[in-house]
C-alpha cells in the first residue's frame, strides 16, 4: 500500500498500485467499503494480472486518513481521486466504480474527462434517491449515527452474513460514512444519470444477474450505454462472483 498527501485536505490517501501495462484500471469502492474489501479478489485474478491496477481508499474509509474538516461530498471524493491520478501522472485511464463509487466515477469523468477514457459502472448510483444502505444512514442525524447508528449497522451486516463488509464498515469513520451518504442522495442538477448521458467517453454498466430485472437494464442500452450481466451475482458482484465479474470487465476493456 502506498500513500499520497492531498494538500487540499491535508490528509493522506492510501492506495494500492499494482504494476502492469497501461492504460491503468482505477477501482473506486462503495459506501462503507474499502479497496481491499471490495477489489482484492478482482485484482488477483490472472485475467487482470497484466494490467496496472490502482485502487484507493477514499478519505474516511479503509486505511486513508479521516480529516475532521472534510465535507466527504461526492464531488470532493472525485476531486481527491483526480489529485491522486495527477500525482501518478496517469491519463486516459479506465475507471470502475461500484455503487456509491459509481457516482464518484461519474463526477470524476465529468469534471476531468482528460483523466478518463473508459467508464465502467458496477450498479453505480444514478439517481438522488435513498439506497438500501445510504437511505437508513442519511435518515439519521450525524450525531445519532456516530453515537449509535454506525455500530447498529455493523451488527446488522454481521447478522445478515456480510461479515467482510461489516469489517470494512466498522473501520470507516462514521462521520465520513454519514456525510458521504447524505451527499450521495442529495438533490443535484444535473443528476448522476444526466451526467452519465452527457459524457463523451465509452461507458459500460454492469448488473449482477439477480438484478437484471431492474428497469435500468433496459433503459441504459436505449440511451447508448451497453449493459453486461454478471452471472450468479447480486449487487456485490465483485465478491459474489469475482471470476464472472472479471470476465465482464476484461471484455469491456477490450
* Residue 215: strand, helix, or coil: coil
Q: What is the tens place of the pLDDT at every residue in 124-144?
A: 999 999 999 999 999 999 999
Reported as type and span, the H/E element at residue 220 is: helix 216-222
pLDDT in the model for residue 164: 96
Q: Is the pLDDT of residue 30 over 90?
A: yes
Q: What is the tens place of the pLDDT at every residue in 156-191?
A: 999 999 999 999 999 999 999 999 999 999 999 999
- Positive or negative, the CA dihedral 54, 57, 63, 67 is positive
**Considering the entire predicted model, what is its pTM?**
0.97
Q: For the residues of 180-236, what is the DSSP string, one character each?
A: HHHHHTS--SS-HHHHHHH--S-EEEEEEGGGTTSTHHHHHHHTT--EEEETT--S-
What the block records as the C-alpha cell of 51 is 494490467
Alpha-carbon Rg for the chain, nearest whole angstrom, is: 17
Q: Is the pLDDT of residue 117 over 90?
A: yes
Q: For the residues of 128-141, what is the DSSP string, one character each?
A: SS--TTHHHHHTS-
What's the mean pLDDT when you consider all of the chain?
Answer: 97
CATH 3.40.30.10, domain 2-129+188-253, yes or no: no
Q: Give the domain ranges of the chain.
A: 2-129+188-253
Q: How far apart are CA 241 and CA 238, in angstroms?
A: 6
* Residue 94: strand, helix, or coil: strand
* Residue 4: strand, helix, or coil: strand
What the block records as the C-alpha cell of 192 is 448522476
Amino acid at each position: 500500500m502506498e500513500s499520497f498527501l492531498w494538500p487540499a485536505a491535508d490528509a493522506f490517501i492510501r492506495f494500492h498500485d499494482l504494476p502492469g501495462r497501461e492504460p491503468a484500471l482505477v477501482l473506486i469502492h462503495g459506501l462503507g467499503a474499502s479497496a481491499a474489501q471490495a477489489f482484492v479478489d478482482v485484482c488477483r485474478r490472472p485475467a487482470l494480472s497484466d494490467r496496472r491496477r490502482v485502487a484507493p481508499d477514499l478519505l474516511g474509509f479503509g486505511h486513508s486518513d479521516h480529516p475532521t474538516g472534510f465535507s466527504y461530498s461526492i464531488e470532493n471524493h472525485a476531486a481527491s481521486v483526480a489529485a491522486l491520478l495527477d500525482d501518478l501522472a496517469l491519463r486516459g485511464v479506465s475507471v470502475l466504480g461500484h455503487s456509491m463509487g459509481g457516482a464518484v466515477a461519474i463526477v470524476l469523468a465529468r469534471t476531468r474527462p482528460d483523466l478518463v477514457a473508459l467508464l465502467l459502472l458496477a450498479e453505480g448510483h444514478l439517481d438522488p434517491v435513498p439506497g438500501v444502505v445510504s437511505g437508513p444512514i442519511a435518515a439519521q442525524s450525524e450525531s445519532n449515527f456516530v453515537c449509535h447508528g454506525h455500530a447498529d449497522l455493523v451488527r446488522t451486516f454481521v447478522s445478515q452474513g456480510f461479515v467482510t463488509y461489516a469489517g470494512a464498515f466498522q473501520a470507516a469513520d462514521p462521520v465520513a460514512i454519514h456525510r458521504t451518504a447524505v451527499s450521495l442522495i442529495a438533490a443535484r442538477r444535473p443528476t448522476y444519470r444526466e451526467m452519465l448521458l452527457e459524457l463523451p467517453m465509452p461507458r459500460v454498466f454492469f448488473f449482477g444477474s439477480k438484478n437484471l430485472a431492474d428497469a435500468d437494464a433496459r433503459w441504459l442500452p436505449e440511451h447508448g450505454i451497453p449493459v453486461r450481466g454478471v452471472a450468479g451475482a447480486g449487487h456485490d458482484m465483485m465478491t459474489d462472483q469475482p471470476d464472472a465479474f472479471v470476465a465482464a470487465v476484461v471484455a469491456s476493456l477490450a
